Amino acid sequence: MTTRTLPRPITAPERSAADALVVAPGGTTRGRARGYPLRREGPAKLTGAAKYADDLVFPGAWYGATIRSTQARAKLVAIELDPDLDWSKVVVVTAADIPGENLVAAIKEDQPVLVPVGGEIRHHAEPVALIAAPDRETIRRLRAGIRLVTEALPPVFDPERSDHVFAEYEVQNGDLEVGFGAAAHVVEGEYRVGHQEQLYIENNAMIAVPGEDGGMAVHGSLQCPYYVHRALRKTLGLTAGQARVVQAETGGGFGGKEEYPSIIALHAALLARKAGRPVRMIYDRHEDIAATTKRHPAIIRHRTAVAADGTLLAQDIEIVMDGGAYCTLTPVVLSRGALHSGGPYRCPNVRIRARATRTNTPPNGAFRGFGAPQVEFAVETHLNRIAERLGLSPAELRRRNAYELGDTTPTGQVLRESVAAQEVLRLAVEAGDFELLRSATARAAAERLGSGEVPGGPFRSGGARTAPGIGLAMGWHGAGFTGSGEVHIGSVASVELTADGRVRVLIASTEMGQGTTTIFPLMVSGELGLPAQAVEMAPVDTAIVPDSGPTVASRTAMVVGGLCIEAARRLRAEVEARNDGRPFAEVYLADAAAHGPTRIDQRFEPYPDIDFDDTTYQGDAYPAFGWAACVATVDVDLDTGEVAVRDVVAVDDVGRVIHPILCEGQVEGGTLQAVGYATIEEIKLQDGRYLNDRLATYLIPTALDAPRLRTILVEAPFSGAPHGAKGVGELPMDVGAPAVVAAIHDAVGVWITELPATPERILAALEGPRGTQEPAA
């Protein structure tokens, strides 16, 4: 089987640069994405016609702003308005103005919409009061006149010292003592990862528009319309009909617009309610970075028993996640983290202990990967260190341990289908020329050592300027929600043939640049025998679309896509049945004219034979898994420790590729986000405040920092979904960072066990006695 891209004719210049490659396990390449539709929202975005929240005009709207705490922890004694200022032309909202519950609807409901007087400020930049005015200048003048009287309380910043536990899990399988008793080697390691900011292009933004009936409509940038809907009902005491949420064009989310928009929507709505007019709550970048959620920092400890041939015998894993000041989605993030922490490897004796605690930093929340990138960085780096200890190739160690069909995971889940771990590993090792390049980098290292001048004196880095390195990592990502999440939610998606003969998809799943509005018409039209452009997407407005669940967990194509395919099949059957079995495409216009609208509402049905026990953490944690492997090459500057990531081969099994170019885009974007996580993305804190809360100081890779990315897509379909898709959004985020860190080690011989692997950390490790960055083994 070939794993190379298909040769392209040299004569005809192709519009698309690289060949997307799709490989079915054991099959042949499917080639390029010719004939697939362009992104549906693309032209409006390119021409500037797309309306993001800040582009929406509501006559008479005021501007809103948030007054935030400047302490990590304090008692709020009073909120004082400067008596010398004129407050008559503005509205100020405090917790006392909240008609319903002063709680943001979430898992634990511990987070106030605004800190009440007498209550506790729990983090820097926490919302305490709100102000709205006809113009921003008035806000700027008056906000300085709102004074928070507080009494400082001692903050907690170390998640291991916190005594408030948000969530705790233990997963057990086999017997650790048996595993460690049989070990030829025991390898221990501690790994740390910091915050990461989602850094969507469009900042958070919400506009609340009060209705005549006491209702409230909110327009904004968001991933999950029904989360916001629920929050409005709870805090404003509205009925389902009185609350309405409309998604504006959304410029990226990455999880950062999963739970936080509820708070902004509530703030805008409280101001709008008091002002009796629309209020615009548009964050600037500084506020967005300072106040909204980040990826959870974590400390992960591994103790692993290995046989002489590299077979894993036991894994003892401890995870501590820093939840920040409020619970948000932390229990679910932690749960996914725990379930992925052993990596995609067979191991008979496993114990995973995970806990997430409260600290006095802004709350952490959803971010692409959702707990998995943290733990997979740890286990992959640990595995690479085991390979080093055993003198085995990292590829060979993985080959000996990666899951195969029929293996059992730590929760006792038997992998009955759709297991492509060995396949993605093989493809990545081949396409990345892993073994060949690894011997070349080893030769380069030997030559540097042989030159006899490394390191000669503290400031001499020797003859060579840079050191090349290559690294490998693999990973898995549970498809869709963890455990019984999908069953609890019971999503509904609809496909409708309207009275005037249009076919519409009605879902609350949002487009935020990833391609929802492009792939749904593709999936539905395929079932109906229509061209994709014949299928419309209904506007994402809770007054129109059913609750198809949040746009998270890489579940949109897999779960909601599956529902729409089923709905389309039912629609087709129904229409064809009343038209003498003639094809839908031929009869649907006449059918609509004769019979009026036909709408199919498809509700999620549990996947057959998938069963998870949320209390014992045993059973099928996910209906299926996506599998990925990644080979990265780097050059490390020997003078400065700067890392240039040169080339990344990313192999991802997504079950079924729906739109090759968009799918490749997800892999490239996720991989680059992982490269940023690995090398430069870092939040620095002082007394619980983010120090680098601006684009000038929170840096992500630019186009010049992006490696050459090569994507190989693998299809190992999941039988529970009609199309076999397992999702692609998060999987690539899980594997890039450990591959880059392994490449840095290959280049310069030090293990960086704390992300990001900054030049500061690399030089410190190189300069210290060798291996000081490594925990004692």
Binding site for another protein (CB under 8 A): 136-137, 140, 286, 457-461, 465, 639-642, 644, 680, 684, 691-692, 696-697, 699, 701-705, 759-760, 763-764, 767
Contact (Cβ atoms closer than 8 angstroms) between residue 598 and residue 571: yes
Q: How far apart are CA 544 and CA 537, in angstroms?
A: 11
Nearest to 377 by CA among 190, 578, 158, 570: 190
Is the distance from CB of 120 to CB of 153 less than 8 angstroms?
yes
CB 84 within 8 A of CB 251: no
CB of 67 to another protein, least distance (A): 15
Residue 768 CB, shortest distance to another protein, in Å, is 11
Helices (runs of H) and strands (runs of E) counted in the chain: 18, 28
C-alpha 70 chain-centroid distance: 29
Q: How far apart are CA 396 and CA 387, in angstroms?
A: 8
How many Cβ atoms sit within 10 Å of the Cβ of residue 78? Answer: 10
Neighbours of 721 (CB within 10 A): 25
Single-letter amino acid, residue 128: V
Cβ at position 287, least distance to another protein in Å:
10
Q: How far is the CB of 459 from another protein (least distance, A)?
A: 4
Given a contact cutoff of 8 angstroms between Cβ atoms, the answer to whether 437 and 429 are in contact is no
| Closest approach of another protein to the CB of residue 755, in Å | 15
Nearest to 536 by CA among 572, 501, 573, 575: 501
Encoding tokens for residue 388?
A: 């080093």
Question: 103 or 644: whose CB is closer to another protein?
Answer: 644
Closest distance to another protein from the beta carbon of 284 (Å): 8
709 token code pair: 């990315």
Of 35 and 457, which CB lies nearer to another protein in the complex structure? 457
2 vs 702 by CB, closer to another protein:
702
State the nearest-atom distance from the C-beta of 402 to another protein, in Å: 34
Q: How far apart are CA 328 and CA 103, in angstroms?
A: 11
Q: How far is the CB of 331 from another protein (least distance, A)?
A: 32
Among 236, 206, 210, 241, which residue's Cα sits nearest to residue 223? 206
Q: How far is the CB of 188 from another protein (least distance, A)?
A: 28
Instruction: Give the C-alpha separation, 477 to 622, whole Å.
Output: 9
Which amino acid appears at position 357 of this protein? T
Q: 260-275 and 225-236 helices cross at what angle (nearest 10)?
A: 50
Beta carbon of residue 172, minimum distance to another protein (angstroms, whole number):
42
Give the list of residues 6+ apart from residue 453 with CB closer than 8 angstroms, or none: 460, 462, 463
- Residue 342 or 641 with smaller CB distance to another protein: 641
Nearest CB to another protein, comparing residues 136 and 578: 136
Residue 99 or residue 450: which is nearer to another protein going by CB? 450
431/453 Cα distance (integer angstroms): 35
State the pairing for strand pair 349-357/312-322. parallel
Those residues with Cβ within 8 angstroms of residue 17's Cβ, 6 or more apart along the chain or in another chain: none
Backbone angles phi, psi at 245, to 5 degrees: -125, 130
- Name the minimum Å distance from CB 456 to another protein: 8
Cβ atoms of 650 and 709 within 8 Å: the answer is yes
Closest separation in Å from C-beta 147 to another protein: 19
Distance between CA atoms of 218 and 554, rounded to whole angstroms?
Answer: 25
| Closest to another protein by CB, 392 or 685 | 685
Nearest residue (CB) to another protein, 16 versus 640: 640
Nearer to another protein, 640 or 772 (CB): 640
**708: three-class secondary structure by DSSP:** strand
Q: For 11-24, b where at least 16 C-beta lie within 10 A, e where not — what string?
A: eeeeeeebbbbbbb
Nearer of residues 586 and 760 to another protein, judged by Cβ: 760
- To another protein, the closest distance from the beta carbon of 137 in angstroms equals 6
Q: Measured from the CB atom, is 387 or 748 closer to another protein? A: 748
Task: Give residue for tokens 């009869």.
Answer: 587
Measure CA of the first residue to CA of the last residue in the chain; give whole Å. 41
CB of 41 to another protein, least distance (A): 26
Query: Would you say 115 or 125 has its CB closer to another protein?
Result: 125
Taking the complex as a whole, how short is the minimal distance between the CB of residue 286 and another protein, in angstroms? 7
CB of 699 to another protein, least distance (A): 5
Least distance in angstroms from the C-beta of 452 to another protein: 12
Instruction: Using the minimum distance from each CB to another protein, give the nearer residue, 406 or 455.
Output: 455
- How many CB atoms sit inside 10 A of residue 616's CB? 12
Taking Cα atoms as reference points, which of 373, 324, 364, 336 lies closest to residue 485?
336
Three-state secondary structure call for residue 620: coil
Minimum Å gap between C-beta 641 and another protein is 8
Query: 236-240: which pairs have CB atoms within 8 A and are 24 or more residues apart?
Result: 236/99, 236/100, 236/266, 236/269, 236/270, 236/273, 237/99, 237/100, 238/100, 238/214
CA distance 613 to 262: 30
With beta carbons less than 8 A apart as the criterion, state whether 723 and 563 touch: no
Largest CA distance in the chain: 89
Of residues 281 and 327, the one with the C-beta less far from another protein = 281
Tell how far CA 239 is from the center of its chain.
32
> CB-wise, 308 or 704, nearer to another protein?
704
CB nearer to another protein: pick between 400 and 694 = 694
Which of 478/641 has CB closer to another protein?
641
153 or 706: CB nearest another protein: 706
Residue 633: name the closest of 747, 499, 556 by CA: 747
